[in-house]
Structure 1
Amino acid sequence: MNQTVKPKIVSFFKKLIIIAFLLFIFTFIEIYWAMGSLSERISSGNPDSHFFDDAYLVSVFTTVFLTIVFLLFTFIKNKYLKITIELISLISVWFFWNYSIFVDRESSWSTYLFKEELLYTLSLSFLPIWVLSIVTVFTLHYILKKL
């Protein structure tokens, strides 16, 4: 193999692993921070599953999806546009998962309206999502810049 190709492949896999690892860790923390108050509630989809199982599975799905998306964002040269799109993507995905967990563990057992579900999920998720999304994006940029 050509000597110039090896460093590029190694660099690509380093980026891939770092992005995936950080997204998994921060997603798992965000879910527990935002939705941890629902951890003792029974899941309506699978009554035998524990909250840890749901958080782990959601973190894996999010990691796979967002790692691919964030790797595509590396082609964006405008730094501010790139950070904005990454934040919007991360916030959207995390809010979607928090909403799904809320519906599964709380509102499916009660009579919430759709608007109430959104507002209650937002009230639980606002601070964790904002803090961790900013920390995640800037940590990724800091680490990837050092490579």
Structure 2
Amino acid sequence: MEQQGEEKMKKKVMVAIDESELSHYALEWTLENLGNTIHNSELLVFTAQPTTIDFGYTNNVLDPFCFTPELVAAIQENYKKVALVLLDKAKDICANHGIVAETVTEVGDPKKAICEAVEKFKIELLVLGSHGRGTVQRAFLGSVSNYCVHNAGCTVLVVRKPI
């Protein structure tokens, strides 16, 4: 009975990461500054695998619409491998702080996938890193953290690396 009460008291915290240095900074910051809270909580480290293929690395000679389904499947499989490597690295970072974290990856637009995961896992605190984009870049590229602040069904903490 006492254990059931402890489980109810545990908060659920999620840190969303990507391949950027800033998201790993947010994870480290969370573990160092919210350590006592994290020790008494369930920590979920989350990353999203894109659904679209970034053709930015190709030159203009290649037509992105000529890619075969096999090539698209191979690229998506590579996204999955990258996500799993990111999550393994995050688990190691957590372990170095004495924290056992659950890891999850989902396929989808990162900002929407994060908000859906918040709902799915009943997260109470979402931690994100800030890429520090200016107003113009945010207007054109969008901002995952800005979207999550306005759409996640929980408290959102955006961690910005000092300049």
Q: Tell me if both proteins adopt one fold, taking TM over 0.5 as the criterion.
A: no
More helix by share: 1
Of Structure 1 and Structure 2, the greater strand share is in 2
TM-score (norm 1): 0.31
- Give the TM-score normalised by structure 2: 0.28
